[in-house]
Chain A
Amino acid sequence: MNVGLEHYLVVSVLLFCLGLLGVIVRRNLLIIYMSLELMLNAANLALVAFSRFNNNLDGQVFVFFSITVAAAEVSVGLALIVALYRKRRTAHVEDLTTMKL
Chain B
Amino acid sequence: MQDALFYVFAFLTLVFGFLVIANPFSRNPVTSAMFLVLTIVSLAGLFVLLHAFFLAAVQVLVYAGAVMVLFLFVIMLLDLKAEERRKIKVLGLVGGLVSVGTILIIFLSSLLNAPLGAAESPVLDGGTVRLGRLLFTEYLLPFEIVSVLLLVAMVGVVLLSKKDLK
Contacts and interface: CB of A to CB of B under 8 A. Distances in A.
- The A contact surface, by secondary structure, is helix
Contacts, number: 217
A55 B47 CA distance: 15
The interface size bin for chain A is 35 or more
Contact of B157 (A3, A65, A75): A75
A15 B154 CA distance: 30
Interface in B128-149: 130-131, 134-135, 139, 142, 146, 149
A64 B100 contact: no
Contacts of B24: none
Contacts of A85: 78
Contacts of A28: 29, 80, 83
A76 B156 contact: yes
10 contacts: A15-B14, A21-B21, A21-B97, A28-B29, A55-B122, A60-B131, A67-B55, A74-B67, A82-B78, A83-B161
Interface of A: 1-11, 13-22, 24-28, 30-31, 33-35, 37-38, 41, 44-45, 48-49, 51-58, 60-61, 63-65, 67-76, 78-83, 85-87, 91-92, 94
